[in-house]
Structures are given as structure tokens and as C-alpha cells.
């Protein structure tokens, strides 16, 4: 049975991979570009870039937080 | 002119005071080249940002957002992905650096592939590719001085003034080495990205409230991205983000940031400090650029949108601040470039073939920096029509280091034959395609020349990794390197 620590490592790796996928997978940004309706009052391509960037930012903050909490960062 | 130049003079005087207070220590080349691996997370974070985001962000990318719209946001994606790469690389690169006293990016290539000549190849590619960008940085300062002189200086006079200012600044880069670069990056970074972000947010508010400009004021075409059937090709954005994220770590002056930290924890913490700041700064800059592009005075000069909007919103005081912010950002990039090049000339070119004492390494490094500053200053004052094309060409070429670099860090199987062949072929393919098609081969669905070459590069690397297996001793050596990272995850941290 996976430990809590190994689960957290998998979460970080999966999140990082997901970031790479959504930042690079062309059909996603093609779809955003063709989506004419506003999302929360904002253009879809703007929402796409902001969401991708926010996800990358949060993933690193989470990775650092969980490594620090597990005592893996000693200096 | 007195107000705008006076504000920059105050900033510059503050910088000189800080640099003068730094203690000189030439006791080891490690101290001179990587600051004795002594910097904590806050210095690391600001040093990374100050090297990553040059002053051209405000002109080139601000202008791109103003003129072309949402496509400019690719810089946001790749700038954040590159911090993610830093987080992933931090442990192996820093631990190898500490254990084997690595001081430059080619040092890491040499260690991983057990080859002396790969150090020379990587250094030559890095140095040659960096020169056009150094000249562009100096010329951008000239453009800034021309704008801030309010028409008093001609373009030639402004470029010469920019070159003189940055050349004077290099006195301390040469004298102090990396310690001076990182400490001054902190001061410059505070001005460029904290004051700069505050200014950007204020200007966005001014554009919305005072000028009535919002996203709804912009034409819908400003929010479209190249897709199927587009002129640029459906893979164009993919290509820009991929090569941007991978390519960032191929620059020697960016990569060396991994060696200046005082531990893996500091590096990872620096990533967590840098990324929110990077996100907010870059997002604010691009939103500002898109909105400010609607100002009637900016439509014909999108590259000057930072100065135009600042002057319209806050007169000469804000224009002076805009210049100070751009100067602070430019200095960090130029200093880092010159420092890393000097270290490579001593460590990876001459030091690779001759046994040199610490004193000789430092003297050669200082001489290299001085000569590079003089060469770049001289070239900056000349009209070089093909300079930007050369800089783009250099970028497509240097990203070919990415395959042996990243696969070498994360995959045990690669060997020196694959590494040298793949990056050399990748470099040749990128340069050939760039020269033939000016960046975008028409048959590549929007992939840039560098991205096409990366495909060739990775195929060659992987095929040779399987065709020429490592012998037993090399396999044991590489395994020991990776074990060092896996098994002693904290022992080497100080």
C-alpha cells in the first residue's frame, strides 16, 4: 500500500506532467482560440493562458510545501 | 531630461555603493565563478529573475503584446515551465556541482559524459550564441536613453551613452565576479520586478479607469492563436513554448544559477519564491501591453509602449521610473552574460587544455570579461543590419544543447558519442533550416527550425545510446553519479 509520502510524490509528478500537457497540447489552444463566447467575462484564450500559468505556479508551491512539510529540505 | 536621467543616476549610485561594500575574495576560482555556492533562496530567486527577464521584456514583449495580442502570452507559459524544470533539476545538478566542484554548464557536460572535448564544444556554442544577445541588450539601452533624453540625443549618441554606462558597470563585474553579480541582482531585481510590477498594475488601472480601455475595446483578432489553416501553422505556439522552456536552461548564464545556491533546499525554495513573482510580473506586463497598445500614440511605436504609457500617465517622473526599471532589468542580464562567458573562457577553453593555478584562472576570466565588454561595446556602436537574425539563429542553435543536457541529467543510458553527435547535428540542422527558411520551414506545420532540429537531435541521441552501449566501467561510473543523488539526498547539503 502506498505511503502518504509516495502518494504526495505521485501527485506532484502527475501535476507537473499535466502542466506540460495543457501548456503544449495543440488541440487545447486551438479550441480556446475558436471559442468565441466569453468565460467569466474574459476571452477564452486569455483564460487558457492564465489557467495554465496559475496551475504551474500552484504546482511548484505545492511541491515545495509538501517537501518542506516532510522534512526533505534540510538546508 | 534632468529629471529622467537624474532618477537613473540615483539608482546607479545606489548600485555602486552596494558593489563597493562587497568584500573581494580571490582565494579560489569557485568563489570567483560561483560565489562559493553560498547564496540562500532569496538571493537565488532574484538572481534568477534578473537574469531571466532582460530589459527587452518591456520593449520587445510589451511591444509584441501591443501589436500582436494574446500570442505574446507564450512567454508567460514558457517562463513558468522553466521554473518547473529548475525545480526538477535542482537536486542532481546542485549535488553533482557540490561534489565535483562544477563551476560552469560545460563542466556538467564533461562530468556526465566523461569527456574533455564536449566541454569545449558546449562552451564554444554558448559563448558564440551569447554575443548577439549581449549586443542587442546594449543597443536596447541606447534606445532607452534616446527616449528618455526627450529628443535631445541622437540615436548614435544614445547608444554610445548606453554602452558607456553598461561598460562602467562591468568594472565591478570583472573585479568581484559572481558574488557581485548575485548581490547586485538582488537590488536590481527589487527595482525591476517589484517596483516594475507595481508600476504595471498602476498603469493597467490607469488605462482602464482614466482611458476607458479594457479587453472589450480590443479587436477579436487580438485574442486568436495560430490554429489549423493559419499562416504560422498549427504547431507554431507549441514550438514557441517548447523551445522557450527547454532553451532557457541552455544559456550558460542561466544554468550557472544552479551552482550558486548554498543547497538543494535553497534552490527549491528560490523556485517557490520566484514563480509567484514571475507569474504576476509577466501577466501584468502582457495585459498592460495589450491594453496600452490601444493608446493612439502607441499604435505606430509598439516597442516604446512602456515609455509612452508611463509618460502619458505620470509625466517625467513616471518616465524616469520606467527608465530606471528597464535599466535595472537590463543590467542583470548583461552582467550575467559577461560573467558566465569570462568564467567559461578560463575554465572550459584554456583551463580545459592547460593546468592553470587559481590566480591564472581568475586573471584569464577577468581578461576575458574585459575583452568581451570592449568587443560588445564596439559592435553595439556599429550598424549591424543582420544582428537580430543572428540572435534568432543563435537561439535556434543553442537550444540543441537541451537534449544531451536534460537526457544526461535524467537518463543513465546516454553516452558521449550520442551527446556530441546529437548536438552537433542538431545545431547544423537548425542553422541550415534557419538560413533556408528564415525560421519556419513551410512543410513543418508551424514548427520552428530549432524544434525540427530537436527532433533529429533526440533521435540521434537515443539511437546512439542503444547502438553504442556504455562499457562496464563507464556504466559503473554513471550509476555512481546517479546513486549520489538518490542515496545521499541531504549529506552534501551545507
Domains of chain B from N-terminus onward: 2-387 (1.20.1730.10)
Q: How far is CA B89 from CA B84, B259, B268, B271, in A?
A: 9, 11, 10, 11
The verdict on residue A38 lying in a domain is: yes
What does the pLDDT read at residue A61?
97
What does the pLDDT read at residue B119?
92
CB pair distance less than 8 Å for A44 and B223: yes
User: What is the distance between the alpha carbons of residues B439 and B434, in angstroms, rounded to a whole number?
Assistant: 5
What does the pLDDT read at residue B481?
95
The verdict on residue A45 lying in a domain is: yes
The verdict on residue A65 lying in a domain is: yes
Q: How far is CA B298 from CA A46, B59, B289, B383, in A?
A: 22, 12, 10, 25
* Cell output for A24: 503544449
pLDDT tens, chain A, 75 aa long: 667 777 888 999 999 999 999 999 999 999 999 988 888 889 999 999 999 999 999 999 999 999 998 887 765
The verdict on residue A13 lying in a domain is: yes
Phi and psi, residue B104, nearest 5° = -140, 170
User: What is the distance between the alpha carbons of residues B276 and B299, in angstroms, rounded to a whole number?
Assistant: 31
User: What is the distance between the alpha carbons of residues B336 and B325, in angstroms, rounded to a whole number?
Assistant: 17
Contact B55, B144 (CB under 8 A): yes
Contacts of A23 in chain B (CB under 8 A): 77, 81, 241
What does the pLDDT read at residue A1?
63
A48-58: buried (b, 16+ CB within 10 Å) or exposed (e) per residue?
A: bbbebbeebbe
Interface predicted TM-score (ipTM): 0.94
Contacts of B276 in chain A (CB under 8 A): 57, 61
User: What is the distance between the alpha carbons of residues B144 and B292, in angstroms, rounded to a whole number?
Assistant: 18
pLDDT tens, chain B, 494 aa long: 788 889 889 999 998 999 888 877 777 888 888 888 989 999 999 999 999 998 888 888 898 999 999 999 999 999 999 999 999 999 999 999 999 999 999 999 999 999 999 999 899 988 888 888 888 888 888 878 888 888 888 877 888 888 888 888 888 888 888 888 899 999 999 999 999 999 999 999 999 999 999 999 999 999 999 988 888 899 999 999 998 899 889 999 999 999 999 999 999 999 999 999 999 999 999 999 999 999 999 888 888 899 999 999 999 999 999 999 999 999 888 888 888 899 999 999 999 898 888 888 888 988 988 898 888 888 888 776 666 677 777 888 889 999 999 999 999 999 999 999 999 999 899 989 988 887 778 888 989 999 999 999 999 999 999 999 999 999 999 999 999 998 754 444 43
User: What is the distance between the alpha carbons of residues B431 and B453, in angstroms, rounded to a whole number?
Assistant: 9
Instruction: Count CB-CB contacts under 10 A for residue A68.
Output: 15
The verdict on residue A50 lying in a domain is: yes
Residue the block writes with cell 553533482 = B96
> For B406-465, where are the E strands, in sequence order?
none
Q: Helices B74-100 & B402-410, crossing angle to 10 degrees?
A: 60
Chain B residues contacting A via beta carbons under 8 Å: 70, 73, 76-77, 80-81, 83-84, 87-88, 215, 220, 223-225, 227-228, 234-235, 237-238, 241-242, 262-266, 268-269, 271-272, 275-276, 279, 282-283, 489-490, 493-494
The verdict on residue A35 lying in a domain is: yes
The verdict on residue A75 lying in a domain is: no
**Could you say which of B81, B241, B262 has the minimum Cβ distance to residue A75?**
B262
Contact B250, B405 (CB under 8 A): yes
What does the pLDDT read at residue B379?
84
**Could you say which of B225, B238, B282 has the minimum Cβ distance to residue A33?**
B225
CA distance B65 to chain A (A): 12
* Cell output for B445: 506545420
Domain total of chain A: 1
The verdict on residue A42 lying in a domain is: yes
User: What is the distance between the alpha carbons of residues A46 and A56, in angstroms, rounded to a whole number?
Assistant: 16
Helical H segments across B293-412, by residue range: 305-344, 351-353, 358-380, 387-398, 402-410
Range of the domain at A10: 4-69
Q: How far is CA A38 from CA B67, B205, B287, B292, in A?
A: 22, 21, 17, 21
Amino acid at each position: 500500500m502506498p505511503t502518504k509520502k509516495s502518494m504526495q510524490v505521485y501527485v506532484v509528478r502527475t501535476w507537473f506532467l499535466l502542466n506540460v500537457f495543457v501548456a503544449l497540447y495543440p488541440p487545447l489552444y486551438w479550441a480556446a482560440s475558436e471559442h468565441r463566447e466569453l468565460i467569466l467575462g474574459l476571452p477564452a484564450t486569455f483564460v487558457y493562458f492564465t489557467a495554465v500559468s496559475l496551475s504551474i505556479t500552484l504546482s511548484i508551491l505545492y511541491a515545495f510545501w509538501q517537501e518542506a512539510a516532510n522534512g526533505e529540505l534540510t538546508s | 531630461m534632468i529629471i529622467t536621467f537624474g532618477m537613473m543616476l540615483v539608482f546607479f549610485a545606489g548600485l555602486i555603493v552596494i558593489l563597493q561594500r562587497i568584500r573581494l575574495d580571490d582565494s579560489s576560482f569557485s568563489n570567483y565563478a560561483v560565489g562559493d555556492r553560498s547564496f540562500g533562496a532569496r538571493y537565488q530567486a532574484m538572481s534568477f529573475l534578473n537574469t531571466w527577464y532582460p530589459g527587452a521584456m518591456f520593449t520587445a514583449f510589451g511591444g509584441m503584446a501591443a501589436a500582436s495580442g494574446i500570442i505574446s502570452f507564450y512567454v508567460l507559459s514558457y517562463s513558468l515551465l522553466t521554473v518547473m524544470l529548475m525545480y526538477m533539476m535542482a537536486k542532481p545538478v546542485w549535488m553533482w556541482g557540490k561534489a565535483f566542484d562544477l563551476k560552469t554548464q560545460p563542466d556538467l557536460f564533461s562530468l556526465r559524459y566523461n569527456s574533455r572535448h564536449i566541454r569545449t564544444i558546449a562552451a564554444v556554442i554558448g559563448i558564440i550564441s551569447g554575443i548577439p544577445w549581449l549586443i542587442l541588450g546594449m543597443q536596447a539601452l541606447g534606445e532607452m536613453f534616446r527616449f528618455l533624453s526627450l529628443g535631445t540625443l541622437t540615436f548614435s549618441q544614445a547608444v554610445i551613452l548606453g554602452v558607456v554606462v553598461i561598460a562602467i558597470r562591468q568594472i565591478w563585474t570583472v573585479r568581484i565576479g559572481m558574488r557581485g553579480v548575485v548581490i547586485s541582482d538582488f537590488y536590481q531585481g527589487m527595482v525591476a520586478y517589484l517596483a516594475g510590477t507595481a508600476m504595471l498594475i498602476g498603469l493597467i488601472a490607469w488605462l482602464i479607469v482614466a482611458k476607458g480601455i479594457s479587453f472589450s475595446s480590443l479587436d477579436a483578432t487580438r485574442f486568436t492563436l495560430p490554429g489549423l489553416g493559419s499562416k504560422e501553422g498549427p504547431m507554431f505556439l507549441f514550438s514557441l513554448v517548447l523551445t522557450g522552456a527547454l532553451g532557457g536552461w541552455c544559456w550558460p548564464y542561466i544554468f550557472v544559477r544552479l551552482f550558486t545556491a548554498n543547497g538543494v533546499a535553497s534552490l527549491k525554495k528560490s523556485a517557490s519564491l520566484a514563480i509567484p513573482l514571475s507569474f504576476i510580473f509577466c501577466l501584468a506586463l502582457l495585459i498592460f501591453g495589450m491594453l496600452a497598445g490601444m493608446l493612439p500614440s502607441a499604435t505606430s511605436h509598439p516597442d516604446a509602449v512602456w515609455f509612452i504609457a508611463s509618460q502619458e500617465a505620470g509625466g517625467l517622473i513616471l518616465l524616469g521610473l520606467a527608465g530606471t526599471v528597464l535599466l535595472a532589468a537590463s543590467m542583470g542580464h548583461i552582467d550575467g552574460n559577461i560573467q558566465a562567458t569570462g568564467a567559461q573562457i578560463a575554465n572550459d577553453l584554456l583551463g580545459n587544455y592547460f593546468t592553470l593555478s587559481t590566480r591564472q584562472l581568475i586573471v584569464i576570466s577577468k581578461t576575458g570579461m574585459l575583452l568581451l565588454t570592449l568587443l560588445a561595446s564596439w559592435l553595439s556602436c556599429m550598424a549591424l543590419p543582420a544582428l537580430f537574425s543572428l540572435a534568432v539563429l543563435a537561439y535556434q542553435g543553442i537550444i540543441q544543447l537541451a537534449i544531451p543536457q536534460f537526457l544526461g541529467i535524467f537518463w543513465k543510458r546516454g553516452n558521449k558519442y550520442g551527446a556530441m553527435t546529437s548536438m552537433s547535428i542538431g545545431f547544423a540542422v537548425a542553422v541550415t533550416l534557419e538560413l533556408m527558411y528564415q525560421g519556419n520551414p513551410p512543410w513543418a506545420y508551424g514548427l520552428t527550425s530549432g524544434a525540427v532540429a530537436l527532433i533529429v537531435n533526440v533521435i540521434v541521441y537515443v539511437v546512439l545510446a542503444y547502438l553504442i552501449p556504455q562499457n562496464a566501467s563507464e556504466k559503473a561510473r554513471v550509476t555512481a553519479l546517479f546513486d549520489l543523488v538518490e542515496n545521499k539526498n541531504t549529506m552534501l547539503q551545507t
